Structure 1
Amino acid sequence: MTNETSTTDLTAEAPTRAQTAIDAVADAHTDMLLQLDPGFATTLGLPGHETEYRDYSPAGLEAFAEATRETLERLTDLEPTDDVDAVTLDAMRERLGLELEIHATGRSLADLNNIACPAQEIRAIFDLMPTDTPEQWGHIAGRLCNIPDAIGGYITSLREGKNRGIVAAARQVRIVIGQTTAYEADGGYFDEFVAGARAKNGAELPESVRNELTAGAEAARNAYRQLTSFLEEELLPEAPEKDAVGREHYALMSRLFLGSAVDLEETYRWGVEELDRIIAEQEAVANEIKEGASIEEAIRILDESPERQLQGTDNLQAWMQGLSDKAVAELADVHFDIPDIMRRLECMIAPTQEGGIYYTGPSDDFSRPGRMWWSVPEGEESFTTWKETTTVYHEGVPGHHLQVATATYQRGLLNSWRRNAVWVSGHGEGWALYAERLMEELGYLSDPGDRLGMLDAQRMRAARVVFDIGVHLELEVPERWGSGTWTPDEGYEFLKKNIAISEGQLNFEFNRYLGWPGQAPSYKIGQRLWEQIRDEVKEREGEHFNLRAFHTRALNLGSVGLDTLRRALLS
């Protein structure tokens, strides 16, 4: 780890400002979220409610909506006192207003997909719970015992959605059935989790705590068995086979993930053009790796290169950590402002085998650091560094860690809602892709293999724009890739040609795009909007433009919708 510091340094360098009336409303809204969603408190590392879950029932969803309405009402007559207030007001009206629009559609009653729904969320909270003491393991046991109520509420919402004719696609239901079956299995996740329970330094737990954990694991398994039965017997027969969600719902989800209402047809055409441009850039780099080599041949050369291979997850984790530490050490105080307390970033192998690489932010006091997680699909033991160098920069520094931890750090400048309660995918993931390209510009991807890996990742994100908008809106297939209108099957073949990942990862990604409309394109579209905003600021400031200062100013805003970001930086 790099420069691990005490949390007493938290406010040593951060600017401060007096709280305003708008800050008070925002903080009160955050407090409400913490009360309604104990898992949110766990995410932030805040004490209290460690054993509880949110209410996933229709009544719980309505409670969130009513609290959101009350917050917007409290903001009605308030005027900003400074630029920070102006951004808060802009962001809250955009985000909370959109939440109510989505709630009104009833789609929250059909919240089910392969990656980001209560079926995974209820289990995943344990990844963030501390495990150092018997008391902390007691909290885990208590939360395990409360899984039945959480699952019960979720089933009630899904049933209500079914009764209203709002049901997720059958493909997603089948996938979640597979996931919940694995969770519920004897000897599965919950049994393994409690079997490995130890206090700090490997000390055995008191028998009473271990008994509570055993009972909790059994309760959790039984609850997931009930969910599996419900999905198989009640929901799946009513689930539509069609994956495409259509324009109206897609436009709403695109706004959710971008914080901007883009022209979907124009964005689709841009995605096709961007994909072609990246492929041409890949071809040029492939020629650097071997003269006359195709992209596919260059990839084979890199995959077969011993110095670019890692065997086993232990080596993968060590490599990720080393590369991350090096980036933090070299970028801090040179290209980015990185306070000491933000320089600790842990690279972890996730306890699941569902595929995907992701980041979780630090606790509010930084006692739990930011973490980069790799969920390795079952059976995968070989990894290639050329593909993943850019991923470490994406998830770590200068990507998500720098972005998320900066907002957390700015406790003296930003209210708690701005720091901790807002995440706009197009802003966050767009920044992470922007960061990948920036690392190339800074010389960190000068090796042709690493650069091809970055382009490989950029190509994947461009292909997702084409696939996601094309399939969900059932648009015309570009001539280069086929004919007619997009279908999931044609889309899968298109992804195979444009995403160089394992079959297990490809299947995961394919199903993710179908079940989470608008999210995957937000990465590349977000990068596009970030670059447009930077270029507009650069043009306005002329010779006075400073890139490091631009990054600091932008990141100090926290995560906001991209239209809010544009207004904040160009007003």
Structure 2
Amino acid sequence: MTTESAAPARPRTAIDAVADAHTDTLVALDPSLATTLGIPGHDTEFQDFSPAGLGRFAAAERKTLQALEGLEPVDDVDAVTLDALRERLGLQLEIHDSGWNLAELNNIDSPAQNIRSIFDLMPTDTEEHWVNIAGRTHSVPAAISGYIESLRTAKDNGKVSARRQVSIVIEQTTKYAAEDGFFAKLAADAKTADGPLPAELQEKLDAGAASARAAYAGLAAFLQEELLPVAPEKDAVGRERYALASRVFLGAAVDLEETYAWGVEELERIIAAQEQVAGQIKPGASIAEAKEILNSDPARRIKGTDALTAWMQELSDRAISDLAGVHFEIPDVMKTLECRIAPTDEGGIYYTGPTDDFSRPGRMWWSVPPGEDTFTTWAETTTVFHEGVPGHHLQVATAVYRRELLNSWRRNVCWTSGHGEGWALYAEKLMEELGYLKDPGDHMGMLDMQRMRAARVVFDIGVHLELDVPARWGTGTWTPEKGFDFLKANLDISEGNLQFEFARYLGWPGQAPSYKVGQRLWEQIRAALEARPDFDLKAFHTKALNIGSVGLDTLKRAMIDQPARR
């Protein structure tokens, strides 16, 4: 499949060469990255999760930064690459030097989940595909062993994730290891597009699945017997660790107290907007009453995951068709976005980008907790825009597509949560601006999602820094228990998802606020440019998306201080 842009290729520079070399090193060190990008040759492998293996990443980052010394940008693209490399790699080295990279463990994004989840992206159509899958299952034990070594080293250095996170990951890894868990099902359900696997290959897969299950059982035992007894009860990570995490997720340093105060004000603004929309749904109705009306409307309800998938796909396809060529440049190869139900039931909705050649398209995944089979369209319309178009899919796929402009690191590797998630929230508001959320129910759903993200700013910063609770929501300083009640009042999600999100914020400090804070910084950049007489919205989007997912301070410098590149 060709993905070449019609634009002439920009000549590669010395800075591009350093960035591309760094990408090649990362692919060699992290086979899961190779699978994510669709690069063959590493499909049966995992990275080395041991302290020595993680040290090799730090060595690569230092080598790349040294290679950049003395290099001067030849154009604005080079300037952004240099800025972004120094900012991203410098922060990675700070994390490495802190020692917390060895202790990485939480309920959503740590090696405990990522070793398993890479199988979700592996194709299953041919025998060769299943040879790769079988081979990778046999590599799970070594990956888990290295991870345990890092966790044990971190423990010996006094760095252990909170007891709550350890307990949850024990549950997760025990499920992965179960007789009816992920790996057992993977082997039991294995087949190619043409039918069952050959007996020898099935035998190899069965053995690999058994070894992967045993490895995860071993990880669960290690967590139960060695880590849990020394895991701290306290969830709050404190200012120093939180400030570093916030910089990593935003690519910008923000005043945490000012941001917390803004989050409180933004939450109040959104609640007031919801009250106004509730009156449109039914005069005099409260927010809760308006939602009940929406939930009881048969036209807004979907039963079953098959119907959910079909609805997601239809809405996504329609958004792409409407926006292409009007508000955004969307090449044909980017117009395919697959909507799928995730193979796990841990909760959450997420996006995975296309391979480098678009042979695997971008995908929107919905992880449905057990027992949930009824869904409401009014609550989720904005989520489809967030994960798809003009949200993550447009953002990520554009960077992948622009091979004639961007080096491989900018296109496929550099990702900053505040930039990416901030764009996706900006995309939700943009769809309101463009008239796609005129229906009061869909508008209420968008406000609900914005309310959730504002509440996360308050919860995350407040709990981890142990700040004062706003008067509307209680007294004293924040605790997880007060925070849970606060989230329950502001996040209109299922009990299963609420428990998942609560644990996520506690175990992944700084990540959840990056959505709303990122949106704030995106909107500030647009506002600064709108003040100029030559501002054009489509051109703004084109330039912004062509930069790729850099840190937000880098983005600000690139958008405001540099001339436009078309």
Mark yes or no: TM-score above 0.5: yes
* Structure 2 contact 5–404 (Cα < 8 Å) conserved: no
1:12 Cα deviation (Å)?
A: 3.9
SS at match of 1:325: helix
Tell me how far apart the structure 2 counterparts of residues 283 and 193 of structure 1 sit (CA, whole Å).
47
Query: Is the 1:15–1:410 Cα contact (8 Å) retained in structure 2?
Result: no
TM-fit CA distance, 1:13: 2.2
Q: Which of 44, 49, 62 does residue 56 from structure 1 map onto?
A: 49
Query: In 1, Cα distance between the equivalents of 2:363 and 2:152?
Result: 36
In the alignment, which of 26, 32, 38 is matched to residue 33 of structure 1? 26
Q: Within 5 Å, give how 1:109-508 maps onto structure 2.
A: 109-201=102-194, 203-508=195-500
Please tell me the root mean square deviation across aligned C-alpha atoms, in Å. Answer: 0.6
Q: Which amino acid aligns with 2:370?
A: E
CA contact (8 A) 2:316 2:388 kept: yes
Partner amino acid, structure 2, of 1:69: R
AA paired with 1:562?
A: L
Superposed displacement of residue 286, structure 1: 0.3
By how many angstroms is 1:15 displaced?
Answer: 4.3
8 Å contact 2:5–2:403 — kept in the other structure?
Answer: no
Distance 2:458 2:9 in 1: 44
CA distance in 2, matches of 1:160, 1:236: 15
| 1:233-272 residue CA offsets vs partner (Å, 9 max, x unmatched) | 0000010000000000000000000000000000000000
Partner letter of residue 548 of structure 1? K
Q: Could you report, residue by residue, the CA deviation over 1:101-133 in whole angstroms, capped at 9, with x for unpaired residues?
A: 110000011100000000000000000001110
**Within the alignment, does 1:548 sit opposite 2:541 as a pair?**
no
In structure 2, the partner of 1:568 is 558
In structure 2, distance between residues paired with 1:109 and 1:425: 21
Q: Residues of 2 paired with 1:104 and 1:189: CA distance? A: 35
Distance 1:141 1:409, change over 3 A: same
**Aligned mates of 1:54, 1:159 — CA distance in 2:** 18
Would you say the 8 A contact 1:354–1:375 is kept in 2? yes
1:195: how far off? 1.2
- The 8 Å contact of residues 249 and 417 in structure 2, kept in 1 or not, is answered as yes
Deviation at 1:198, TM superposition (A): 1.1
Maintained 8 Å contact 2:14/2:71:
yes
* Larger mean Cα displacement after TM superposition, 191-200 or 65-74: 191-200
> For the Cα contact (< 8 Å) 1:14–1:411, is it kept in 2?
no
Q: Residues of 2 paired with 1:405 and 1:523: CA distance? A: 19
Query: What SS does structure 2 have at the residue aligned with 1:365?
Result: coil
* SS of equivalent to 1:146: helix
* Counterpart secondary structure, 1:364: coil
Question: AA paired with 1:413?
Answer: L
Q: Work out the CA distance in 1 between the residues paired with 2:439 and 2:143.
A: 49
Q: What aligned pairs does 1:77-88 form with structure 2 within 5 A after superposition? A: 77-88=70-81
Moved beyond 4 Å, runs of 4+: none
Give a deviation string over 1:400-439, Cα, whole Å, max 9, x none: 0000000000011000000011110000000000000000
Counterparts of 1:160 and 1:191, CA distance in 2: 31
**1:556 aligns to what SS in structure 2?**
helix
CA contact (8 A) 1:434 1:527 kept: yes
CA deviation digits over 1:492-531, x for unaligned, max 9? 0000000000000000000000000000000000000000
1:14 Cα deviation from its structure 2 partner: 4.2
Q: Percent identity?
A: 69
**What is the SS of the residue equivalent to 2:456?**
helix
- Is 2:96 aligned against 1:96? no
Give the partner amino acid of 2:348: G
Gaps of 5+ in 1: 1-6
Name the counterpart of 2:520: 528
The 2-side partners of 1:517 and 1:297 are apart by: 34
1:538 offset after TM fit, Å? 1.3
Give the match for residue 72 of structure 1: 65
Q: Give distance in 1, aligned partners of 2:61 and 2:269.
A: 43
Aligned partner letter, 2:252: S
Measure the CA separation in 2 of the matches of 1:380 and 1:497. 21
Secondary structure (helix, strand or coil) at the match of 1:376 reads coil
Q: Secondary structure at the match of 1:388?
A: helix
For 2:106 and 2:441, how far apart are their aligned partners in 1?
34
| 1:12-53 CA distance string (max 9 Å, x none) | 424420100000000000000000000000000111111000
1:44 aligns with 2:12: no
Q: Specify the code of the residue in structure 2 equivalent to 1:538.
A: E
Determine helix, strand or coil for the equivalent of 2:328.
coil
SS in 2 for 1:484: coil
Determine if contact 1:13/1:339 at 8 Å carries over to the other structure: no
- Give me the whole-angstrom Cα distance separating, in 1, the residues matched to 2:102 and 2:5: 45
